[in-house]
């Protein structure tokens, strides 16, 4: 048995103070002693520990995991017997018939009314042949002011001439609305000449077609007794439209079998030319084409001569056409036998033709002092015998 050392006086003093100050502690301690004695009577005494256990200090609250059973529902497929279904059969469903809506047809052309209902102050000016002619004059002046662009080169020339087609359309529309106007001759010539100008082409087919536009107008006027074959009268008729072209008429000697004929030439500087016969028959006047290069805007000269080069007592027709392309000046010479119904072009001797094209010169015909006819090329002479 261990011997404990005696307590100090200070220890006994604190013990007495505690007993005096806390009587309840003594009471509580007494109750514990009594309870312990009672328990000792019923339960066996616990084993005496050899050493006091160390107190357990719990710094953090303990967590005890608890297993929780969670029920998750599971889908279970259950086979259900279905009654057999009938197989669908395609059924033709009739489509509705669409009836087209009739488009209203107007018996007359709908024009802007002279006094619309919503605009009492709006009034269209009355249109007349005089107004149409005045507008045509304005349109003509536009091309006169832009004429300097004619030889500006390439596509510009073609575009410029194509614009004259607008005047052709305008004149023909004016003739449609005012067919009996006093401007009819002017408008007809204007439509034809502007169509000639607008078709920038040098093909022979186009040149003949252009010639027919003018020759047919002349024949129509002759057959309608609007004009005669007298040159001054025909020139006044042709001047109704200021085109820049000139008209020349020359009567031919009487032929033993052919009806009377007149030689008509229409030519103009830088605009080509056309030459044709006007033949007088019992059924009226008819035209016979000879030569045309209308629409060739490089043709700048025209000389017509009647002279007998074949000694058959009937003259031949000589056409000398000058042309220019830039600084190049040249000429073409044509000789026609006009004793038959349809004029026939005569061929020039190849050597003389080579001389003509070598020097690019024009030609004409003269009667020499000895009475023989000579074809003269500028710078040299060709006798009539060497031509055919």
Q: Which is more confident, 40 or 90?
A: 90
Q: Which is more confident, 138 or 108?
A: 138
pLDDT of residue 57: 46
* 282 and 337 inside one domain: no
* 170 and 222 inside one domain: no
Low-confidence winner among 41-50, 68-77, 189-198 (lowest mean pLDDT): 41-50
The whole-angstrom separation of Cα 254 and Cα 220 is: 24
173 assigned to some structural domain: yes
pLDDT of residue 328: 44
pLDDT tens digits for range 306-344: 888 777 788 888 887 766 554 444 567 788 888 888 888
pLDDT of residue 326: 46
Q: Evaluate if residue 64 carries a pLDDT over 50.
A: yes
- Total structural domains in the chain? 3
191 assigned to some structural domain: yes
193 assigned to some structural domain: yes
Domain boundary among 297, 317, 333: 297
374 assigned to some structural domain: yes
Q: Evaluate if residue 385 carries a pLDDT over 50.
A: no
pLDDT tens digits for range 187-234: 999 999 988 888 766 677 888 888 899 999 999 999 999 999 999 999
Q: Evaluate if residue 286 carries a pLDDT over 90.
A: yes
Nearest CA among 296, 163, 286, 276 for reference residue 211: 276
Q: What is the mean pLDDT of the chain?
A: 72
pLDDT of residue 37: 55
Domain boundary among 276, 297, 318: 297
| Strands annotated E in the chain | 246-251, 261-267, 273-281, 284-292, 299-307, 316-325, 328-337, 344-346, 363-367, 373-377, 380-383
Domain boundary among 171, 200, 229: 200
Domain housing 146: 127-200
Q: Evaluate if residue 87 carries a pLDDT over 50.
A: yes
pLDDT of residue 76: 58
Rounded (10°) CA dihedral 141, 150, 296, 359: 140
What average pLDDT score do residues 278-305 get?
82
pLDDT of residue 386: 36
* 365 and 339 inside one domain: yes
* 267 and 326 inside one domain: no
* 242 and 272 inside one domain: yes
* 233 and 277 inside one domain: yes
* 138 and 169 inside one domain: yes
* 216 and 188 inside one domain: no
384 assigned to some structural domain: yes
Q: Answer positive or negative: Cα dihedral of 145, 146, 147, 152.
A: positive
Q: Evaluate if residue 300 carries a pLDDT over 90.
A: no
What average pLDDT score do residues 233-237 get?
95
pLDDT of residue 309: 73
Q: Which is more confident, 21 or 184?
A: 184
pLDDT tens digits for range 156-181: 667 777 788 889 999 999 999 999 99
266 assigned to some structural domain: yes
133 assigned to some structural domain: yes
Q: Evaluate if residue 143 carries a pLDDT over 90.
A: no
Q: Which is more confident, 30 or 41?
A: 30
188 assigned to some structural domain: yes
Model pTM score:
0.57
pLDDT of residue 122: 66
pLDDT of residue 292: 87
Q: How far is CA 360 from CA 287, 331, 332, 353, in A?
A: 32, 6, 8, 10
* 174 and 134 inside one domain: yes
pLDDT band at 267 (very low <50, low <70, confident <90, very high): confident
């Amino acid at each position: 048995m261990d011997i404990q050392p005696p307590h100090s006086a200070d220890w006994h003093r604190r013990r007495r103070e505690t007993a005096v100050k806390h009587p309840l502690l003594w009471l509580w301690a007494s109750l514990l002693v009594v309870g312990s004695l009672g328990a000792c009577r019923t339960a066996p005494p616990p084993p005496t520990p050899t050493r006091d256990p160390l107190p357990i200090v719990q710094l953090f609250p303990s967590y005890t995991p608890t297993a929780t059973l969670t029920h998750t529902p599971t889908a279970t497929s259950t086979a259900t017997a279905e009654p057999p279904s009938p197989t669908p059969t395609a059924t033709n469903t009739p489509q509705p018939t669409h009836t087209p809506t009739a488009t209203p047809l107007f018996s007359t052309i709908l024009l802007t009314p002279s006094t619309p209902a919503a605009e009492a102050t709006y009034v269209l000016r009355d249109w007349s042949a005089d107004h149409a002619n005045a507008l045509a004059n304005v349109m003509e002046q536009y091309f006169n002011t832009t004429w300097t662009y004619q030889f500006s080169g390439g596509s510009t020339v073609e575009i410029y001439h194509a614009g004259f087609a607008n005047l052709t359309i305008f004149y023909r529309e004016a003739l449609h609305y005012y067919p009996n106007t006093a401007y009819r001759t002017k408008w007809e010539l204007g439509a034809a000449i502007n169509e000639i100008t607008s078709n920038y082409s040098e093909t022979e087919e186009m040149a003949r077609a252009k010639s027919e536009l003018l020759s047919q107008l002349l024949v129509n006027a002759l057959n309608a007794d609007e004009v005669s074959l007298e040159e001054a009268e025909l020139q006044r008729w042709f001047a109704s439209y200021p085109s820049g072209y000139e008209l020349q008429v020359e009567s031919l000697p009487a032929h033993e079998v052919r009806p009377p004929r007149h030689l008509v030439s229409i030519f103009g500087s830088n605009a080509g030319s056309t030459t044709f016969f006007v033949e007088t028959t019992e059924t009226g006047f008819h035209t016979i084409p000879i030569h045309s290069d209308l629409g060739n805007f490089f043709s700048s000269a025209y000389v017509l001569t009647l002279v007998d080069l074949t000694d058959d007592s009937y003259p031949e027709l000589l056409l000398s056409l000058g042309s220019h392309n830039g600084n190049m000046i040249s000429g073409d010479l044509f000789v026609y036998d006009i004793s038959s119904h349809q004029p026939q072009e005569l061929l020039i001797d190849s050597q003389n033709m080579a001389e003509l094209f070598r020097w690019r010169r024009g030609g004409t015909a003269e009667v020499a002092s000895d009475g023989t006819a000579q074809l003269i090329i500028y710078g040299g002479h060709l006798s009539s015998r060497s031509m055919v």
